[in-house]
Amino acid sequence: MTAYNRMELMIAVAARLLEDNSIVAIGTGVPCAAAMLAQKTHAPNLMMMFEAGGFAPILPTMPVSVGDSRTFYKALMATSMRDVMASVARGMVDYCFLGGAQIDPYGNLNSTIIGDDFAHPKVRLPGSGGANDLASHAWHSMVITIQDKRRFVEKIDFITSPGYLDGPGARERAGLPPGTGPHKVITDLAIMGYDPKTCRMRIESVHPGVTVEQVKANTGFVLTEADEVLQTQPPTARELHVLRDEVDPLRYVIGR
């Protein structure tokens, strides 16, 4: 088996979750690498949407920003941020990738502040950007992150991007579209989904060499388990070849 690092594993896992003919809203970095890998392997008709307006490009190489000219290369449309966000609100986006400094059991994300005083926080973070719009209206939101107790907390300091808020029915009561919400959390240890009854995060698959106990030990809240916890399949030789030689040959992402 070809050796791989944890970043390559997370990207390969995320790519497999993107189906052919679906639409995914992505930023740069890891989500972009995952979408490019999916498009170059099992999902040639995957349509990528970038916040600055590029819709369904065929990326020649890894872009460095959402406004990079490469995000418009062979695209179906060169539109605007307004049109992109309107498309999200219309329910046209199947998947989006989000990030944050903190995530709680219901998939709520914080990328605004660390601390309990908004005016004088311990750390002020970049904020929402388009993340709140995506978390609110895309059908399925996914997170790729390193797993540790500082990130995975029982209560986040600020809700920047809504997950299932405080449990079943909360998104609908807040006026968000029924059927939307968090889908998967991909970490360096495991793949988590959400219990359909409680809307709380649960372990669905552990990566090679990782135990369920290790995943729970690196989480700051109680994690349940799916009825059957699977073992994640490692990246294939083909996935690694495409990722290293075509998607990210300069190691912008996989070299981290």
DSSP code, position 244: I
Given pLDDT bands bounded at 50, 70 and 90, which one contains residue 2? Answer: confident
The pLDDT tens digits of the residues spanning 143-165 come to: 999 999 999 999 999 999 999 99
Mean pLDDT of the chain: 96
pLDDT above 70 covers what percent of the chain?
Answer: 100
Mean pLDDT of 221-232: 97
Which of 8, 19, 51, 246 is catalytic? The answer is: 51
What pLDDT does residue 37 have?
98
The H-or-E segment that residue 233 falls in is: none
The pLDDT tens digits of the residues spanning 12-38 come to: 999 999 999 999 999 889 999 999 999
Q: Which of 58, 49, 33, 122 is nearest to 84 (CA)?
A: 49
Cβ proximity of 253 and 11 under 8 Å:
yes
204 carries an active-site annotation: no
Cβ proximity of 109 and 99 under 8 Å:
yes
Q: How many other C-beta atoms are found inside a 10 Å radius of the C-beta of residue 14?
A: 25
What pLDDT does residue 1 have?
59
Mean pLDDT of 91-98: 97
Terminal Cα-to-Cα distance of the chain (whole angstroms): 22
The pLDDT tens digits of the residues spanning 173-191 come to: 999 999 999 999 999 999 9
What pLDDT does residue 54 have?
95
Mean pLDDT of 229-256: 95
Which class in CATH covers the domain with range 6-247? Answer: alpha beta
